[in-house]
């Protein structure tokens, strides 16, 4: 005859099981799907960098199991001939679904003077090119050393902070915008020289390659100051057909 646990022990076992189940659910909720149509372009993640907010958050790289690292690189971020930081990139491919990838990027900034203001280069947005015909999910990982300012929002747009006059940015499904705040010498408030790892999960049926304009780093925190952006070499999904080509701006 099978022995039954005493009532108290059965209750403890059930409670432990519920805790474990809840932990698994929290870990699996990191990646968020970005909209591909409609007016709501940006997905809010953690605009206040609160430790209690888990939207878009993952606790390790690449954020999901079942992926293998297939590419990794680092490069200096250069503007006006000055190195203002380092760009780190990684690409993971799914172990069995070979057309599913996670692209990761992180910036680590320094306080080198790059223009006449003497201010450090502040990265407010990191934008990545993607295929227009494929769904996109995003997440962030604080990294090590940890970013103290996390991912504020993300969306399929080419317009970063202070680059649009409307309440919401215009849609452009050829790009993913990660709204962050990475600065080694913030003029006001605490600095966060390290951005989190910014993760893009998407399908790339034709694989991936290094492209000259795969990434755009935007410095646009002050509305009354000219925005500065850097286009950078980076990994992006390959696109050789019109179905996945970048969208053209409307001339009207």
Q: How confident is the model over 132-157, as pLDDT tens digits?
A: 999 999 999 999 999 999 999 999 99
- Residues 143-181, buried b or exposed e (16+ Cβ, 10 A)? beeebebbbbbbbbbbbbbbbeeeeebebbbbbbbbbbb
Per cent of the chain over pLDDT 70 is 85
Backbone angles phi, psi at 20, to 5 degrees: -65, -40
Q: Can you tell me the mean pLDDT for 44-72?
A: 97
Predicted confidence at residue 22, as pLDDT, reads 40
- Tens digit of pLDDT for each residue in 179-211? 999 999 988 778 999 999 999 999 999 999 999
Question: Confidence band (pLDDT; 50, 70, 90) for 117?
Answer: confident
Is pLDDT at 96 greater than 80 in this prediction?
yes
For residue 170, the SS3 value is: coil
Predicted confidence at residue 183, as pLDDT, reads 96
pTM value? Answer: 0.87
Predicted confidence at residue 2, as pLDDT, reads 44
Is pLDDT at 175 greater than 70 in this prediction?
yes
Is pLDDT at 252 greater than 60 in this prediction?
no
Of the two residues 153 and 12, the one the predictor is more confident about is 153
Contact call for residues 46 and 151 (beta carbons, < 8 A): yes
Place of tokens 């019109």: 242
| Mean pLDDT of all residues belonging to the chain | 88
Return d(Cα 131, Cα 231) in angstroms, integer.
18
- Residues 49-78, buried b or exposed e (16+ Cβ, 10 A)? beeeeebbbbeebbbbeebeeeeeeeeebe
Is pLDDT at 98 greater than 60 in this prediction?
yes
Closest CA to 111 of 85, 133, 131: 85
- Tens digit of pLDDT for each residue in 69-92? 999 999 999 999 999 999 999 999
Which positions ≥6 away from 187 have C-beta within 8 Å?
119
> Is residue 32 within a helix (H) or strand (E), and if so which, with residue range?
strand 32-33
Per cent of the chain over pLDDT 90 is 77
Return d(Cα 222, Cα 219) in angstroms, integer.
9
Predicted confidence at residue 110, as pLDDT, reads 97
Predicted confidence at residue 187, as pLDDT, reads 80
Which of 24-38, 159-173, 191-205 is predicted with the least confidence, judged by mean pLDDT?
24-38
Which of 42-56, 100-114, 233-247 is predicted with the least confidence, judged by mean pLDDT?
233-247
Return d(Cα 65, Cα 46) in angstroms, integer.
23
Of the two residues 6 and 37, the one the predictor is more confident about is 37
The domain spans of the chain are 51-239
Question: Confidence band (pLDDT; 50, 70, 90) for 247?
Answer: low
Predicted confidence at residue 221, as pLDDT, reads 84
């Amino acid at each position: 005859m099978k022995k039954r646990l005493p009532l108290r022990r059965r209750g403890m076992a059930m409670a432990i099981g519920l805790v474990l189940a809840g932990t698994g659910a929290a870990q699996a909720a990191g990646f968020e799907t970005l909209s591909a149509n409609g007016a709501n372009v940006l997905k809010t993640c953690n605009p206040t960098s609160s430790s209690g907010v888990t939207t878009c958050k993952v606790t390790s790289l690449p954020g999901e199991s079942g992926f293998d690292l297939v590419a990794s690189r680092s490069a200096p971020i250069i503007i006006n001939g000055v190195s203002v930081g380092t760009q780190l990139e990684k690409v993971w491919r799914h172990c069995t679904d070979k057309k599913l990838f996670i692209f990761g990027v992180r910036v680590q900034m320094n306080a080198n003077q790059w223009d006449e203001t003497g201010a450090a280069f502040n990265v407010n947005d990191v934008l990545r090119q993607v295929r227009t015909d494929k769904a996109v999910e995003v997440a962030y990982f604080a990294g090590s050393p940890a970013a103290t300012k996390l991912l504020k929002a993300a969306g399929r747009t080419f317009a970063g902070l202070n680059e649009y006059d409307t309440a919401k940015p215009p849609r452009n499904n050829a790009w993913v915008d990660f709204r962050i705040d990475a600065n080694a010498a913030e003029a006001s408030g605490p600095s966060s020289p390290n951005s989190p790892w910014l993760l893009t999960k998407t399908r790339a049926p034709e694989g991936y390659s290094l492209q000259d304009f795969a990434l755009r780093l935007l410095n646009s925190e002050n509305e009354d100051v000219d925005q500065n952006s850097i286009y950078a070499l980076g990994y992006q999904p390959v696109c050789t057909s019109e179905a996945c080509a970048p969208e053209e701006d409307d001339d009207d």
